[in-house]
Amino acid sequence: MRTHINNLLESRTACEQEDIADPLYHWQDEFQLPQDLIYLDGNSLGPLPKRALKYLEQAIQKEWAEDLITSWNRAGWWNLPETLGEFIAPLIGAASGQVIVSDSTSLNIYKAVHAALRLRPERTVIVSEADSFPTDLYIMEGVASTRQNMQRRLLGTDGNSLAELLDDQVAVVSLSHVNYRTGELLPIAELVKQTHAAGALFVLDTCHSAGILPVELDRWGVDFAVGCTYKYLNGGPGSPAFIYVAKQHQQEAVNPLSGWWGHARPFAFEENYQAAEGILRFRTGTQPILAFRGLQAGLEIAQEADIHQVRIKSQRLTQLFIELVKMRCGNFGITLQSPTDPEKRGSQVALHCLNGFAVIQALSARKIIADFRAPGTMRFGFAPLYLRYTDVWDAAEALFEVLETEEWRKECFQQKAAVT
């Protein structure tokens, strides 16, 4: 890869040629992106797939307006959680019947951690990571509060390796595949092995990996997993999340959010809850159908694109960006927070910069969209289906100009945003 990247570092023309040769180049036509915008925030919210327009119009004008209540059967609304779950399964290395789309990531973590704890009733420790996306930690607190004497151990706070934290009191290890801040990619297969050797269960958060790099839940032996669909899966703002429950746990696993959609016979309107067979018991209540329809297009595209090509291009894009920044912006106090080894990195690059917030604002004014995470992290996400090598070149060039001219000092870029 190094030689390859070195060539691209030479000139924008080299990047142009790389775009022409790129086997994923044509995928950008599937997305409706504003003209002249370089969108490096697909790790936060993916853009609109053009075919989503068609599905949404169909859902609104035909299914809702015209067919009304009959669409629950006729249009398959009722089965969307498992229908769309089957779209996701191959993207995360799951055999059929183990994934549904339902609710939000937070709620799916609640279900997964709760179910895992009940499978290890005699144990009292949850292991997670200090640098988890906070909702994972908050939800674990919520689950723990419903049980007696639960304790939390955090990687990064209570120990520096998973091995140090594991013992026969650990019920569940819950970690993120890719760190939301630094982009660090964890060696899940190895961590699952250690976890199982200690007799605990493994819950994986794939929010920053599903759809952007190969995930092999079945092969790695992951017990439960959750993930987000509005980032690299381009499902639309706040589109519903998914949950994976490994086949061997489905019979025993208890969903605490035992709503009627998870009942064995929802339309018998029985007085007592009886969980449906298999993954369907992780359904809860009525789901937001328009959001499901918005999601379908993104999932189709993710299935049709070759994930291995996506991974190769993703590594090249991030590496190119890192090298360009090193070359051009090395003198401005910017440091790399992401792993230097592309094999240990997801599809984003985190740069630390004291004035990062203002820099991101200045880039935004130049129509280059990335985001900022306090206290000083600039996050650049690289989605290979709609990004070009020339986009990376132009983004690095713009970053250099913003830093060199101190454009970021402008008053308008210094204001603090409530949501970033």
Question: Tokens in use for 419?
Answer: 């949501």
Which one is catalytic: 379, 386, 388, 389?
379
Q: Is 135 in the site for a copy of itself (CB under 8 A)?
A: yes
Strand 348-352: give its sheet, edge to edge.
335-336, 348-352, 377-381, 371-373
Please tell me whether residue 214 adopts helix, strand or coil conformation.
coil
Rounded to a whole number of angstroms, the distance between the first and last alpha carbons of the chain is 34
CA 227/CA 341 separation, integer angstroms = 24
Q: Is 285 in the site for a copy of itself (CB under 8 A)?
A: yes
Compute the least distance from the CB of residue 21 to a copy of itself, in Å.
28
Question: Tokens in use for 197?
Answer: 């050797």
Residue from 89, 139, 320, 329 binding a copy of itself (CB under 8 A): 139
Compute the least distance from the CB of residue 118 to a copy of itself, in Å.
9
Quick check: 228 and 244 in contact, CB under 8 A?
A: no
CA 172/CA 391 separation, integer angstroms = 42
Long-range contacts of 74-79 (CB under 8 A, 24+ apart): 77/289, 77/292
β-bridge mates for residue 80, sequence order? none
Residue listed under structure tokens 């706040």? 238
CA 42/CA 106 separation, integer angstroms = 20
Which one is catalytic: 22, 205, 371, 391?
205
Q: Choose between 15 and 59: whose C-beta lies nearer to a copy of itself.
A: 59
Compute the least distance from the CB of residue 297 to a copy of itself, in Å.
11
Active site residue 230: yes
Binding mask of the shown chain, residues 24 to 53, with x at each position contacting a copy of itself by CB under 8 A = --------xxx----x-x--xx-xx---xx
Active site residue 205: yes
Quick check: 115 and 139 in contact, CB under 8 A?
A: no
Q: Is 276 in the site for a copy of itself (CB under 8 A)?
A: no
Q: Is 264 in the site for a copy of itself (CB under 8 A)?
A: no
Provide the greatest CA pair distance for the chain: 70
Q: Is 184 in the site for a copy of itself (CB under 8 A)?
A: no
Q: Which of these ranges, 4-12, 87-95, 167-175, 279-287, lies near a copy of itself under the rule CB under 8 A?
A: 279-287
Q: Give residues with Cβ within 8 angstroms of 194, minimum separation 6.
A: 162, 163, 166
Q: Which of these ranges, 183-191, 280-288, 297-305, 311-319, lies near a copy of itself under the rule CB under 8 A?
A: 280-288
Which one is catalytic: 133, 242, 282, 357?
133
Q: Is 85 in the site for a copy of itself (CB under 8 A)?
A: no
Q: Is 367 in the site for a copy of itself (CB under 8 A)?
A: no
Q: Which of these ranges, 4-12, 161-169, 171-179, 412-420, lies near a copy of itself under the rule CB under 8 A?
A: 412-420
* DSSP string covering 132-148: S-HHHHHHHHHHHHTST
Q: Choose between 108 and 315: whose C-beta lies nearer to a copy of itself.
A: 108
Residue from 188, 241, 351, 399 binding a copy of itself (CB under 8 A): 241
Q: Is 121 in the site for a copy of itself (CB under 8 A)?
A: no
Residue from 153, 208, 263, 316 binding a copy of itself (CB under 8 A): 263
Question: Tokens in use for 20?
Answer: 């022409």
Residue from 9, 14, 119, 154 binding a copy of itself (CB under 8 A): 154
Question: Tokens in use for 218?
Answer: 């079945």
Active site residue 379: yes
Q: Is 376 in the site for a copy of itself (CB under 8 A)?
A: no
| Residue 357: C-alpha distances to residues 237, 360, 362, 408, 413 (Å) | 23, 5, 9, 9, 8
Q: Is 386 in the site for a copy of itself (CB under 8 A)?
A: no
Active site residue 232: no
Q: What is the dihedral of CA 6, 384, 382, 347, to 10 degrees?
A: -90
Which one is catalytic: 231, 345, 366, 388?
231
Question: Tokens in use for 150?
Answer: 């639960």
Q: How many residues bind a copy of itself (CB under 8 A)?
A: 92
Q: Is 159 in the site for a copy of itself (CB under 8 A)?
A: no
Active site residue 55: no
Q: Is 233 in the site for a copy of itself (CB under 8 A)?
A: no
Residue from 25, 260, 332, 400 binding a copy of itself (CB under 8 A): 260
CA 237/CA 142 separation, integer angstroms = 25
Position 348, amino acid: Q
Compute the least distance from the CB of residue 363 to a copy of itself, in Å.
13
- Strand 371-373 vs strand 377-381: parallel, antiparallel, or unpaired? antiparallel
Question: Tokens in use for 42?
Answer: 């697909």
Residue from 173, 289, 297, 396 binding a copy of itself (CB under 8 A): 289
Compute the least distance from the CB of residue 320 to a copy of itself, in Å.
23
Q: Is 277 in the site for a copy of itself (CB under 8 A)?
A: no
Radius of gyration of the chain (CA): 22
Residues designated catalytic: 133, 205, 230-231, 379
